[in-house]
A and B are shown apart, each in its own frame.
Chain A
């Protein structure tokens, strides 16, 4: 349960970062880099994107500066929590041949030198993390993910600035962070309402100088989140998407979207819940050592559906359909819910701006009309 801990004046935000560093965390937070808001190592509040906001549309992301004292006045950039836990590329094990020709296999220790504390996480990414946990911890018991997940400390910021591409209200995953974090912050002009959501979160709060929260602050924070939900105009169909999509595998819309789709894999890569990967071996030139690698793959890649000697999904139509029917449909069977958390990244970061909500709505259009 999330509980109010107190109000942290803006001037004291540095003490939160200091506290996390003092507790031994590697602290990650949002910074402006490469024309986007990205997660990077931080130690000073001055590194946060003070006064920045974003303008997101299908296939377009632009940062701009506005007159605000706030540091979190933006919606998620391209990076989710995913790369910190499910590494884009990592060595899983190594093998070396000794002078007698014997092979010695060795494990790679995936434990990070320091546990991560990530500041600025949004509700959609917490929901995505819960889904990745279900996959990597419950479903496949992945030691690499588990080692990085174990000490993770999360400071959420309730999202008062959804982008035009966001639809977390429609998936039920935001904009308020309700679970899965250690601390949650409401950002107001003069500071932050701090909420603690775990024993570790409470312990961090103990080291902060927090004041009492007044009702005006509470009201302002809640109003901002209601507005943030209402401002979202994209939504997924509210019908049963599992049966709806799987009953429409021959819908002409698949062909239409395929004519626009580049099959580049950008959507699945920025998706905070997609977990597909490929494994390969990287032998040294002399052939005496080798590393076994895992890297992000995508159901849009040719290699992903390449079985021995034949291609299961040769057409882009089939690949897009595979992604959507899995993400919104058969994910329910595997993980008990949809694989979409409404972060909108696949819409913004698609080079041609394909909109998952538009496609799902078009394909399920007749069920929507049938709905009461």
Chain B
């Protein structure tokens, strides 16, 4: 029997999720024995047109060329799995969607904006093609990626992580930074998968794994306001890395005003 084949495609992104994949170390050698890696630029394998069983996609769809390319990935792949916050929920670059600031930002950021050919909006992959499974995180957790690969190789969809970061904090016996220090932690609305990394080191979660299921963003917004956060900061807590996730998009926009400057 032929080994299953995989590809890791890069779109608008920082490559950090590919690196989290590569960081798996010894497990990567095991993986190489289990699957044919046909395309994975950070690992030095390049065949963008390869037909594969599983395509992992890093990055959001942000240019005309990417709109075309993601369609070809879909056509060439049995399963498409998004890899990380950009591919799953837009990433940082999707902040330009918020108030049509694409052109203004482009002109402000680039020395020669005339050479920059980007779309007005940066979109999650699912806005353009059907996605079979989503992996969250900025970056993804390498262990979680390999666990998903294992389950896909067994022929089942990976188990969806439902829990909020709070559950993982408590399992790890990390002390709540919101309760002890009044830090504006996003853990109560954020999907776990990171291992409660930030709170375990005394930092408030900033929601890089996107919204958990059944989130009460209104209640958390009220709490953040109660901790003294002005509306601009409440908006930033929701509209940061996963601003295109519907629950965070809606919650953020309730506090966001176009052209926000620091209050």
Q: A261-B219, A262-B188 are contacts. A269–B170 as well, Cβ < 8 Å?
A: yes
Min distance, Cβ A301 to any Cβ of chain B, angstroms: 5
Min distance, Cβ A246 to any Cβ of chain B, angstroms: 24
At the interface, yes or no: B213 with Cβ under 8 Å from chain A?
Answer: yes
Interface residues of A in 258-302 (CB under 8 A from B): 258-266, 269-270, 280, 282-287, 295-298, 301-302
Contact with B along A90-113 (1 / 0, CB 8 A): 000000000000000000000000
Contacts of A286 in B (CB 8 A): 30, 33-34
At the interface, yes or no: A191 with Cβ under 8 Å from chain B?
Answer: no
**B167 A351 Cβ-Cβ under 8 A:** no
Q: A301-B162, A351-B176, A351-B188 are contacts. A285–B30 as well, Cβ < 8 Å?
A: yes
**B170 A303 Cβ-Cβ under 8 A:** no
Query: In whole angstroms, what is the CA distance A61 to B179 when docked?
Result: 6
**B219 A260 Cβ-Cβ under 8 A:** yes
Q: How large is the interface on B (under 10, 10 to 19, 20 to 34, 35 or more residues)?
A: 35 or more
Q: A34-B202, A302-B162 are contacts. A262–B175 as well, Cβ < 8 Å?
A: no
Query: In whole angstroms, what is the CA distance A369 to B31 when docked?
Result: 67
**B34 A285 Cβ-Cβ under 8 A:** yes
Q: A261-B216, A285-B31, A316-B216 are contacts. A298–B167 as well, Cβ < 8 Å?
A: yes
**B202 A264 Cβ-Cβ under 8 A:** no
At the interface, yes or no: B107 with Cβ under 8 Å from chain A?
Answer: no
Query: Which of B146, B166, B167 contacts A285, CB < 8 Å?
Result: B146
Query: In whole angstroms, what is the CA distance A78 to B171 when docked?
Result: 12
Query: Which of A60, A295, A302 contacts B214, CB < 8 Å?
Result: A302
Q: How large is the interface on A (under 10, 10 to 19, 20 to 34, 35 or more residues)?
A: 35 or more
At the interface, yes or no: B119 with Cβ under 8 Å from chain A?
Answer: no
Interface of B is mostly: helix
**A34 B180 Cβ-Cβ under 8 A:** yes
At the interface, yes or no: B173 with Cβ under 8 Å from chain A?
Answer: yes
Query: In whole angstroms, what is the CA distance A283 to B175 when docked?
Result: 30
At the interface, yes or no: A202 with Cβ under 8 Å from chain B?
Answer: no
**A89 B171 Cβ-Cβ under 8 A:** yes
Interface residues of A in 224-279 (CB under 8 A from B): 258-266, 269-270
Min distance, Cβ B25 to any Cβ of chain A, angstroms: 11
At the interface, yes or no: A73 with Cβ under 8 Å from chain B?
Answer: no
Query: In whole angstroms, what is the CA distance A262 to B212 when docked?
Result: 11
Chain A residue with Cβ nearest B149: A285
Which of A78, A262, A316 has its CB near the most chain B CB atoms (within 10 A)?
Answer: A262
Contacts of B181 in A (CB 8 A): 35
At the interface, yes or no: B10 with Cβ under 8 Å from chain A?
Answer: no
At the interface, yes or no: B147 with Cβ under 8 Å from chain A?
Answer: yes
**B188 A264 Cβ-Cβ under 8 A:** yes
At the interface, yes or no: B23 with Cβ under 8 Å from chain A?
Answer: no
A-B pairs, 8 with minimum CB distance: A269-B170, A264-B166, A88-B171, A262-B188, A302-B213, A264-B188, A302-B162, A34-B175
- B positions within 8 Å CB-CB of A: 27, 30-31, 33-34, 146-147, 149-150, 153-154, 159, 162-164, 166-167, 170-176, 178-182, 185, 187-189, 202, 212-216, 218-220, 222-223
List 24 A-B residue pairs with CB atoms under 8 Å apart, sorted by A's residue number.
A35-B175, A60-B179, A61-B179, A78-B175, A83-B173, A259-B219, A261-B216, A262-B220, A263-B215, A264-B187, A265-B167, A269-B167, A283-B154, A287-B153, A295-B171, A296-B167, A296-B170, A296-B171, A301-B167, A302-B163, A302-B214, A351-B178, A351-B179, A351-B220
- With A285-B149, A286-B30 given, name 8 new contacts (CB 8 A): A61-B176, A79-B173, A88-B170, A262-B189, A264-B188, A295-B171, A301-B164, A301-B167
